Amino acid sequence: MRSLGFAEVAIVVKDVEASKKFYVDLLGYTEAHFDTYTPPAGSTIIQVGPDHFLGLWEPGIWSSDYLDGSYGDYFGNTIGQAHLVMAIAQDEVQPLADRLTEAGLPIAGPMPHGGGSLHLYVSDPDGHAIEFWGK
């Protein structure tokens, strides 16, 4: 199989508007808009790269014809903890750290990892651990 990477990662959040403010207003990503799909109320899709998306869904909003039963119920209704790692330009790690600190958010880093890359950690409004990996 030839992998093309992730297309979308979807997480359940308590308040989609608070999460949108974090990912769009604070981090600088954009809300995605599609010609053939509009996310239902209580959800949004954030564009985090050219063809990479982060789905944000309040409990009970997401449903699937493919995932029914206990797994589908769990996925669509549970705010579970996720660790998202976002690749960003190495020279954007420190300015992002400064912006997050100015917004009053506790951060860890920037700190060096193997290969000389800088990593920065912060939690989103639902406590999901967000890591930024400088490339």
pLDDT tens per residue, range 36-61: 888 889 999 999 999 899 999 998 88
Do residue 60 and residue 92 come from a single domain? no
- Closest C-alpha among 28, 26, 48, 46 to residue 104: 26
User: Which of 63, 80, 97 is where one domain is finished?
Assistant: 80
| Confidence category of residue 73, pLDDT binned at 50, 70, 90 | low
Do residue 119 and residue 89 come from a single domain? yes
Q: What are phi and psi of 16, to 5 degrees?
A: -65, -30
Q: Whole domain around residue 12: which residue ranges?
A: 1-80
Do residue 61 and residue 97 come from a single domain? no
- Contact indicator for 90, 132 with CB cutoff of 8 Å: no
Instruction: Give the pTM.
Output: 0.82
Write down the pLDDT at residue 5. 75
Do residue 4 and residue 70 come from a single domain? yes
Domain count, the chain: 2
